Chains A and B, each alone.
Chain A
């Protein structure tokens, strides 16, 4: 399939819009609707989808900011999530993929972040949000939901050269053998606070970045600038989905 076959959807059709959608338009992105949200499907200027997959395998940057995510904190949070059939890591700064393929990240003893899966197989995030609304809006059980959907942008840096990119922007050693699958770093990236999560797409290294949403454009530009020497480029969700689904 070539990218030209993808339906063209305007990102402004949705009321919820990525802070980066104008950047994507500059790259003449094709968008697609996923549930209520609109995401970048691909960037046609880069060629066929297979080319974009190759970019993603080498060094790609993808905006996932309109995908669902949520967070909770408070003393009762880990126990509550366990009671909701989630596997909660013992150690902080660890991510654990759930059987539903959503990703649960333990940021501290009392703080959890949950990311939806790229293939939209799971309703975990929506389910948790609904449960929190139903059961914890009185805020008397030490479980507090956090608006992670809107407080943080969600980016993915993929490919075998990804760690070279990070080494230009971040002081933490994120090389593959040091920062292994499921590792989490809460650190500074280009002078901006960021949560970095290693979550490979099968054999393709993948690093999720969650950073202050108001600085999303700044960070996006920094990442693109840093990856230019490695011929990295933006990639759409389809490329990531392909990498995530290929066994």
Chain B
């Protein structure tokens, strides 16, 4: 703890709250407010991780969560940014991507062979002979892994929330804070977002005046003003991870993804400091100037004891002053500029007598067996990127780089802004922002604080004027003439390489040049071939250098070379944050819990829960189902059919509509009758079926399949939008709860609870429909026979379903009425030879193939698909759906989609098959060619495990072919 600098250094840490955690099993002490990286640095742990490819030692680079150097492993999570992740008591942190230990990583031997592993090496080396990649891939991937996933981890709760504001200001530095305050004058709802746990950005750590006092005063004033302004909502520790159309902003905070919609977005995202390229520029101890300043001011940690500053601007001098103030010895300031144009801060450094070397560069860093730099070699700059042959070795354990910035352009470019390169300032600039997207601050290439504040105010006022809440006269923002902080070429190639362009992927200057040499000259191709910019930091620190190198290698300008596309997300986000809380709507009938209470095993049909069968602990599943079947055939059963679609068609043209929509005729359908309704599409393909019940001249109640109800309803609306018939169509599927009481005793049971309808066969015959009361509940009764027995479908208002179920079960007790499930119903219908649309039909099935021509009216002028069906009927049939019976009952029962073979060729497939407890035979339906579709023809089915099963084509229905039982 003594290693910490006294306050006011360390503004983020709470020295009263010590925290203890481990890194590589070593106990580390830190404070509340520390990140893993700051606590490790304070504990003199400089080595944080190993690099992706060559397993090189890596330490702090940006201290801003913007690079892959600080990726560490937590037990629950790999690839955690150590310079973003706050420490917690008991936290167990380890390095990642090493073999052996973090200190002694055998994987680092790869670096010895780096000259044999050029860019594109994998593509060239491992793809021959054919199939070899599959052998190599596991080894390579294991070597290049990034952390370990805990697959036993229970995912944390994530969710999403919508937010709405007039203005969103992204970035809470001086520009963002001023923009928010200025916008809040006119806009009532302003959102200010910052990825850090604090507002203020560089005001927290950077030096804006020679005394180093101005920033903190300004910061406090801005913070006070924001806190006092009720129109500003502040979200810190929140990352705006993208920009989508109409200012839709995904903002990640903790385990929640905020989906924010705003009228205007002001981007104050700042600029990202860039590294210089020299030999060993990736060693621990080499870091951005801003990283060193963050360590000092935010965490009270000295980043080193002897520092060299490599600079191409005046800001490096500010860093030197900060370090010297904190007790760090400044060994030298190496200024790339031959004739620097000093500002007040630089002049102060000069006056303090620091050693300053102008027109020189750091050519290489050395580490002398240590995991941290021990010295740098400084050489004189002869021309762009070329250094003298000899230089001076300067001992140091810290090298701060201050050679320029790239605007954080990602969000702006996602919105359609253009990124250009300005040769004069050696900097990327953003132009052509779309309407309602604005820039302020260093993202817009402003570097003087007064310029930044002036522009932020101006932009915010422009926004409120556009919102119509103010009518302010816009003043021209201040533009000071200060030199660009960017040096045009802080790139110094070394004969031994290791001047890293992309730290994530271990790519050097030679790798980028070689990529262009291999013919990949376009920056997008360079990216894909070399993987430059494809790592966790997504090119934030490599895009500028890569563009410069590619431009030079291909004799183009940097402006012509450009940068690769910046796609969302801006920073890595967890899958849980994208997925959020999952919603899987579930539908239940009013009878649902009665099924559960009766032991039903439920299955899902779309969103619906349906009882598959009712379990009995003394019986196997199949026996349970067979008992249910037997009870229906010999006695009476009750099944919940609430999930069937229900469509109400009312109006003078209801009959005409159905006549056009379904294949049958409906205009002359008598009132009080149901009629089978088969639906085909324009291609003549069977897509649904049900029954149409006519309750009065202008009223039909039509059922549809469970899975097809919504699409049939939508199709009805679509067609009537064209036909403009006088009919109202309503989807009442959920409004009705339905049961089917079926079996020879069905009438006797129903008579006990239904008194106002004559249920006799004469008064209420098969395919009749009636309205009445069942157990005092208003009901629609349909005498239909899907299972092939005397039966009544009873449809009642949904909230009466459970009471109806209870009443019928009570009434049926003396007849041993039992509920039956969907599995029994499937067997029952198959015994009757009834098809299930979607199971026994496919995307090509026409009525003729499935032997439903009887359901197609030829007497009417039109129905959907009529033209196609009439043409198809002129063609020879290529397949037909037939019934079959397995010859050997002991053979494995074929399953749906098992193949029908003829002379070892596939000629058809099974659509349904089961053991029939009624017939004590294995029966099924299958598509077969017409030449083997006649009753008595033999077919071969390739059943489970390839067993060939002989079957005989059989006439359907298998059961009760004269349909006497359902007409009782």
Contacts and interface: CB of A to CB of B under 8 A. Distances in A.
A176 interface: no
Contact of A218 (B586, B698, B730, B776): B586
B164 A178 contact: yes
Contacts of B735: 147, 150-151, 213
A17 B696 contact: no
Nearest to A166: B162
A214 B738 CA distance: 13
A12 B777 CA distance: 15
Of A17, A18, A213, A217, chain B has the most CB atoms within 10 Å of the CB of A213
A47 interface: no
A212 B161 contact: no
A140 B732 contact: no
Interface string A145-160: 0110111100000000
Contacts of A168: 159-162
Contact of A222 (B583, B587, B733, B803): B583
A191 B590 CA distance: 21
Given A171-B259, A215-B586, A151 B162 contact: no
Given A213-B798, A215-B607, A15 B585 contact: no
Interface in B141-166: 159-164
Interface string B417-448: 00000000000000000000000000000000
A158 B728 CA distance: 35
Contacts of A199: none
Nearest to A65: B799
Interface in A117-164: 137-140, 142, 144, 146-147, 149-152
Contacts of B696: 137-139
A191 B583 CA distance: 6
B699 interface: yes
Contact of B589 (A14, A139, A147, A214): A214
Contacts of B648: 144
Given A139-B651, A214-B608, A144 B799 contact: no
Contact of B585 (A73, A175, A190, A213): A190
B732 A217 contact: no
A123 to B, nearest CB: 19
Nearest to B261: A173
A144 to B, nearest CB: 4
A66 B799 contact: yes
Given A146-B730, A150-B734, A17 B608 contact: no
Nearest to B651: A139
B568 interface: no
B259 A15 contact: no
Nearest to B737: A150
A192 interface: yes
Contact of B588 (A178, A192, A217): A217
B651 A147 contact: no
B237 interface: no
Contact of B162 (A73, A147, A167): A167
B168 to A, nearest CB: 14
A74 B652 CA distance: 13
A144 B799 CA distance: 21
A231 interface: no
Interface of B is mostly: mixed
Interface residues of B, number: 48
B728 A73 contact: yes
B198 interface: no
B593 A22 contact: yes
B799 A19 contact: yes
A225 B586 CA distance: 16
A14 B803 CA distance: 8
B802 interface: yes
A212 B651 CA distance: 25
B246 interface: no
Nearest to B164: A173
A22 B588 CA distance: 13
A80 B162 CA distance: 40
Given A139-B650, A150-B735, A168-B159, A18 B799 contact: yes
Contacts of A222: 583
B587 A215 contact: yes
Given A138-B696, A178-B164, A213-B734, A191 B585 contact: yes
Of B164, B593, B732, chain A has the most CB atoms within 10 Å of the CB of B164
B799 A213 contact: yes
B929 interface: no
Given A139-B650, A213-B735, A150 B728 contact: no
Of A18, A151, A191, chain B has the most CB atoms within 10 Å of the CB of A151
Interface string A215-235: 101100010011000000000
B698 A138 contact: yes
B775 interface: yes
A66 to B, nearest CB: 7
A18 B799 CA distance: 6
B593 A15 contact: no
B162 A140 contact: no
Interface in B763-806: 775-777, 797-800, 802-804
B726 interface: yes
Contacts of A139: 650-652, 654, 696, 698-699, 728
A203 interface: no
Nearest to B698: A139
A186 to B, nearest CB: 15
Contacts of A142: 651, 726, 728
A14 B777 CA distance: 11
A170 interface: yes
A17 B588 contact: no
A178 B607 CA distance: 33
B736 interface: yes
B777 A15 contact: yes
B775 A212 contact: no
Given A74-B728, A146-B730, A150-B735, A214 B588 contact: yes
B693 to A, nearest CB: 14
A212 B643 CA distance: 13
B672 to A, nearest CB: 15
A218 B583 CA distance: 9
Contacts of B728: 73-74, 139, 142, 144
Interface in B29-88: none
Nearest to B803: A15
A73 B729 CA distance: 10
A192 B732 contact: no
B797 A16 contact: yes
Contacts of A14: 803
Contacts of B730: 73, 144, 146
Contacts of A137: 696
Given A150-B734, A171-B259, A213-B735, A15 B800 contact: yes
Nearest to B726: A142
Nearest to B697: A138
Contacts of A138: 696-698
Nearest to A22: B593
A138 B697 CA distance: 8
Interface string B668-701: 0000000000000000000000000000111100
Nearest to B729: A144
A233 B513 CA distance: 64
Contacts of B261: 173
A190 B698 contact: no
A163 B798 CA distance: 30
A17 B590 contact: yes
A247 to B, nearest CB: 30
Given A147-B732, A214-B734, A171 B799 contact: no
10 contacts: A12-B802, A15-B776, A142-B726, A150-B735, A151-B798, A191-B585, A214-B587, A214-B733, A215-B588, A215-B607
Closest 5 CB pairs of A and B: A151-B735, A15-B803, A214-B587, A147-B735, A139-B698
Given A16-B797, A147-B797, A168-B162, 10 more contacts: A66-B799, A73-B730, A139-B650, A140-B652, A142-B726, A151-B798, A173-B261, A191-B583, A212-B587, A218-B585
